[in-house]
Amino acid sequence: MVPDDAPRIAALIVSYRSHNRKSLASVFSTLPVDDYWVSRIRDAVEMLDRRSFCVIFCEKRLPDDSYNELPAEARARYPDVLFCIGEWDAYLNALRLGATEVLRCPLHSTDVGPAIIRAI
């Protein structure tokens, strides 16, 4: 349980799949999270220049590219960002690129909630 006075955090979600968006939105509704959604890597990189994020959720593949450049871009701007990517086969590569956590897709609140709490 997150205390009522917990600081709000900003989360960037890079996803084009509606079921992932719905899963995250249901978890975020119970947490102190301001969520920002984009569906392309290019938009995610642009968003990193506009706003500070504590947590980034990203799918392995998106319509315009894979997630490969995003962890390094995020780490360069925000060294403590918690980066989550959703497929186990990408686990080691994601960690090597700068991700701090890997969650299995489809996303479930029992996985997402603890990741948000760790970021807080």
Rounded to whole angstroms, the Cα distance separating 87 from 96 reads 15
Summarised one tens digit per residue, pLDDT across range 39-83 is 999 999 999 999 988 888 888 778 887 777 888 888 888 877 776
* Residues forming beta bridges with residue 61, ordered by sequence position: 66
**pTM to 2 decimal places:** 0.70
At 56 the pLDDT is 86
Asked if residues 82 and 101 have their Cβ atoms less than 8 Å apart, the reply is yes
Backbone angles phi, psi at 10, to 5 degrees: -100, 130
Domains of the chain as residue ranges with CATH: 9-119 (3.40.50.2300)
